[in-house]
Amino acid sequence: MLTTLSIRDVVLVDALDLEVGEGLTVLTGETGAGKSIILDALGLALGARGDAGLVRAGAKQAVATAVFTAPDDAAVIDLLAERGFEVAPGEELILRRVVSADGRSRAYVNDQPAGVTALREIGALLVEVHGQHETVGLLDWKTHRALLDNYGGLQPQLSGVAAAAERLKAAQGRLDALEASAAEAAAKAEEIALNLADLDALDPQPDEETELAGERAILGASEKAVADLADARNLLGGDKLSQRLASALRAVEHARQRAVQAGAEGDNLIIIKLGLAAEAVDRALVEATEAVAAVDAAADAFDFEPGRLDKAEERLFALRAAARKLNTTVDALPSLRVRLREQLRLIENGAEALTHARREVAVAIEAYDVAAMLLTSAREAAGDRLTAAVMGELGPLKLDRARFRVTLEPIEGRRGPLGVETVRFEVATNAGTPFGPLDTVASGGELARFALAMKAALASREDQRQPVMIFDEVDQGVGGAVAEAVGSRLQRLSNGAQVLVVTHSPQVASRGHAHWKVRKADHDGHTRTSIDVLEPHPRQEEIARMLSGAEITDEARAAARVLIG
């Protein structure tokens, strides 16, 4: 909902702050008073093109600010979030545009800098403008599908098509992945088979590189340690040392025996020394034997399979060579082996998997086509109802020769979430003329009335109503009963919405819930435009002026009272 429109230094306006209420607000005034300036200012705040010509003479810049209550509309809230503006439904939403005298333009959303494009996108979701030279929304055929679907209440059919499209997309994705994988595998089948045979022969195991590297380090250290122990045994003399010590012991014993034979007694010093020597050599013999045994035992502790180090190194080199050849790491070889086997399996058994996947796609296509057919049928029925409704509005609006239709144009090869056709609203303004897009067929005055007729027909559903609609001189060139019909439809549209209309018709003006009179006056040599919000009596006088012209007669006042009711 638009709550406030503030204008500063736009063309002939110094400063205006307008509060906008619900329902129908009418803008009236003499020709040239500046009614279009108000709409130009609002358009500026909504992202319309701005240039230096909009800046009041002598001012540095023009500023237009439109304040809305953010609607409970996911499309609006999501768009704001996408553009970086967090606004919740019911909160204040301020759109501001500043145009400098040099033509430069700046845009703001809730006082945060914004691009003009973002401002225009947000404004398009908040306000519809219908005039002789532009009709935003209805002229864009891309909006017609959503308008028709909402009018027909086709959400169940749309949901069915969207769900079917999602299932088809998933099935097609699985098929595409299988086909791509099978094609890639088939192209490399021979290479894959050779690589897999090599890996099967190699039989790489998880973490094998780490284990082999550790084993190689230990085995390398073991070989060096055994060599050191062999050196130690050799230095000890090995068995020769024991033999020499044994020979030395026998020699000492022989010496002791000769001394005894020579008559030496047991307490003889020689006998004692020889005994001590024999004991020492015997101890040395025992220690030498034990030392050699200990060195041998230490060497035995390094017991390993002969050539084990060579085998570990050969295995490690073979793994690393295979990894280089396959452009991977040693740790990845086991998983690569599994993948290669799976690729070969796809080649060998891929036909069955592909057949199953294609069957799934065919089932999904059939389900989608059924859902799309139901949606198309529902759209055709809704199009017939909308056509009848619009045609019923055209006669009272002096468009009785015009015709309206809804066309559904199939889109070959598309099965999307929105169905299989585009929707277009087309008109023919005179008998014998072909149907065509609204903006290329209807004239300026017809364009706005066509928009009104279509909005009036669409508004039979509450959710079809744009929160804010603007009609600029929709009643131009008509009067009497036609103007009455225009006013009636505008008033009907304003139920539960906001409608602003620039009008020269007293029949339309009398329908307003609020009445703004735009007037132009000269002050200190400068022409300025201002707005009076009319209370009942001034409003009656304004409608009487519209009925009678410059001189307001009693008859005009009486007619104005009748119109106002």
Over range 319-339, report the average pLDDT.
90
466-504: pLDDT as tens digits: 678 888 877 776 778 888 888 888 888 888 789 999 888
Contact 530, 16 (CB under 8 A): yes
DSSP 551: S
Distance CA 449, CA 489 (A): 10
What's residue 261's pLDDT?
73
Collect all residues with Cβ–Cβ distance below 8 Å to 537 and sequence separation of at least 6: none
56-76: pLDDT as tens digits: 888 999 999 999 998 888 888
Contact 149, 159 (CB under 8 A): no
What's residue 540's pLDDT?
92
What's residue 436's pLDDT?
86
138-150: pLDDT as tens digits: 777 888 998 899 8
pLDDT higher than threshold 90 for residue 400: no
What's residue 463's pLDDT?
54
Q: pLDDT-derived band of residue 299, with 50, 70 and 90 as boundaries?
A: low
What's residue 363's pLDDT?
96
Closest CA to 517 of 20, 112, 3, 33: 33
Q: pLDDT-derived band of residue 370, with 50, 70 and 90 as boundaries?
A: very high
Q: pLDDT-derived band of residue 459, with 50, 70 and 90 as boundaries?
A: confident
Closest CA to 421 of 376, 460, 369: 376
Which position has the token pair 């049928």?
A: 377
> On the CB side of 313, how many CA atoms lie within 13 Å of its CA?
8
Distance CA 398, CA 475 (A): 10
pLDDT higher than threshold 70 for residue 238: no
Distance CA 397, CA 376 (A): 31
The span from the first CA to the last CA of the chain, in angstroms, equals: 27
HEC sequence for 6-66: EEEEECCEEEEEEECCCEEEEEECCCCCCHHHHHHHHHHHCCCCCCHHHECCCCCEEEEEE
- Look at residue 420 and give its three-state secondary structure: coil
Distance CA 525, CA 544 (A): 30
How does strand 61-69 pair with strand 2-10? Answer: antiparallel
Distance CA 177, CA 533 (A): 67
Helices vs. strands in the chain: H and E counts, helices first: 17, 15
pLDDT higher than threshold 80 for residue 367: yes
HEC sequence for 429-476: CCCCCCCEEHHHHCCHHHHHHHHHHHHHHHCCCHHHCCCEEEEECCCC
Contact 408, 372 (CB under 8 A): no
What's residue 553's pLDDT?
86
DSSP 141: G
Q: What is the pTM of this model?
A: 0.63
What ranges in 83-154 are assigned the alpha helix state H?
116-126, 144-152
Distance CA 15, CA 172 (A): 61
What's residue 215's pLDDT?
67
What's residue 466's pLDDT?
63
Distances (CA, A) of 207 to 241, 249, 271: 49, 59, 72
Closest CA to 405 of 344, 450, 342: 450
Distance CA 18, CA 503 (A): 18
**Angle, vertex CA 263, rays to CA 261 and CA 266, nearest 5:** 95
Contact 421, 427 (CB under 8 A): no
Q: pLDDT-derived band of residue 278, with 50, 70 and 90 as boundaries?
A: confident
**Range with the poorest average pLDDT among 137-151, 222-236, 395-409, 476-490:** 222-236
- Among 131-140, 330-339, 465-474, the range of highest mean pLDDT: 330-339
Distance CA 438, CA 135 (A): 10
What's residue 226's pLDDT?
63
Over range 417-440, report the average pLDDT.
86
What's residue 249's pLDDT?
76
Strand partners, 471: 130, 501
Q: Which residue has the higher pLDDT, 499 or 459?
A: 499
Distance CA 488, CA 510 (A): 10
What's residue 265's pLDDT?
66
**Range with the poorest average pLDDT among 248-257, 304-313, 346-355:** 304-313
In this structure, what is the dihedral angle of CA atoms 257, 258, 262, 264, given to the nearest 10 degrees?
-50
pLDDT higher than threshold 70 for residue 236: no
180-213: pLDDT as tens digits: 877 877 777 888 888 889 999 999 888 888 877 7
Over range 536-547, report the average pLDDT.
91
- Look at residue 417 and give its three-state secondary structure: coil
Number of other CB atoms surrounding residue 399 within 10 Å: 24
Contact 521, 528 (CB under 8 A): yes
- The phi, psi pair for 69, rounded to 5°, reads -95, 120
- 39-51 as b/e, with b when 16 or more CB fall inside 10 Å? bbbbbbbbbbebe
- The phi, psi pair for 343, rounded to 5°, reads -65, -40
**Range with the poorest average pLDDT among 134-148, 163-177, 296-310, 533-547:** 296-310
Closest CA to 505 of 492, 495, 490, 494: 490
Closest CA to 451 of 435, 441, 438: 438
23-61: pLDDT as tens digits: 999 998 887 777 888 888 998 999 988 888 889 888 999
